[in-house]
Copies of this chain bind each other. A is one copy, B any other.
């Protein structure tokens, strides 16, 4: 057991790294009860607040479990959570160095269908804007966007010009901040989508679905269909 008496640990980062090291190296196996903050602070030669921050962050990251009086222990089953960044399509494409292009395929304001009313919590007869867009990277289709915007919540959308830039970019400007639900799923390409994405009908499509509320009111619902072979990846 190397308990590093002399290592000059001085920042919460060092403390964090050292605790992590002891866990990965197996000195502190899953389920182990760690020494208390006071004890660790002494052995590291730092203030308790510093140890606290290190442990708090490790807890946020899913590695530790803490309870008052009960102490801190290594999570028996590392409930690790993965973080996925959800950038705007434009940023996502341009980050790869490719040329981003956007096309508005259709646009039409109509009564919101029942499923959308239920999803966004709209009144009967509420109107919504329905948009279909295609985002492409270096000329190749990248993402097909099927979006609904509630005209109850955002009447200004009816006047907005979505020919030049995507509804996404308009929305982030129009809506300050919001509550979001995202799902990832696999769907079969219907003929229309297959056509736009240069795929065969019925082919599996990686699909993201996102609903946005602002102050409890449904704003927009979108389904994003990605081109063949798309992956959502993260590493930790």
Decide: A84 and B85 in contact? CB cutoff 8 A.
Answer: no
- A185-B85 contact given A24-B215, A176-B23, CB 8 Å threshold: no
Mark each residue of chain A from 182 to 202: 1 if its CB lies under 8 Å from any CB of chain B, else 0.
111111100000000000001
Within 8 Å CB of A215, what residues of B?
24
Stretch at the interface among A117-125, A155-163, A204-212: A204-212
- A30-B176 contact given A84-B84, A91-B77, CB 8 Å threshold: yes
- Does any Cβ of B come within 8 Å of A81's Cβ? yes
- Does any Cβ of B come within 8 Å of A25's Cβ? yes
Decide: B180 and A235 in contact? CB cutoff 8 A.
Answer: yes
Decide: B181 and A234 in contact? CB cutoff 8 A.
Answer: yes
Q: How far is the CB of A197 from chain B (nearest CB, A)?
A: 12
Mark each residue of chain A from 44 to 85: 1 if its CB lies under 8 Å from any CB of chain B, else 0.
000000000000000000010000000000000111111111
A206: contacting residue among B178, B181, B185, CB under 8 A: B185
Q: In the complex the two chains form, what is the Cα distance from A233 to B210 in whole Å? A: 10
Within 8 Å CB of A78, what residues of B?
172, 177
- Does any Cβ of B come within 8 Å of A87's Cβ? yes
Q: In the complex the two chains form, what is the Cα distance from A164 to B184 in whole Å? A: 31
How many interface residues does chain A have, given as a range? 35 or more
Decide: A81 and B79 in contact? CB cutoff 8 A.
Answer: no
Q: How far is the CB of A54 from chain B (nearest CB, A)?
A: 14
Q: How far is the CB of A195 from chain B (nearest CB, A)?
A: 17
A188: contacting residue among B176, B184, B204, B214, CB under 8 A: B204
Within 8 Å CB of A230, what residues of B?
185-186
Within 8 Å CB of A81, what residues of B?
83-86
User: Which B residue sits closest to A169, measured CB to CB?
Assistant: B77
Enumerate 19 A-B pairs (CB-CB under 8 Å) in ascending A order.
Answer: A23-B176, A24-B176, A24-B214, A30-B176, A77-B91, A77-B172, A81-B83, A81-B85, A82-B182, A181-B233, A183-B232, A183-B233, A183-B234, A184-B206, A184-B233, A185-B230, A185-B231, A186-B186, A209-B231
With A20-B177, A186-B207 already in contact, 5 other A-B pairs whose C-beta atoms are closer than 8 Å: A24-B176, A25-B176, A30-B173, A77-B91, A184-B184
Closest 6 CB pairs of A and B: A204-B204, A186-B186, A186-B204, A186-B206, A24-B177, A183-B233
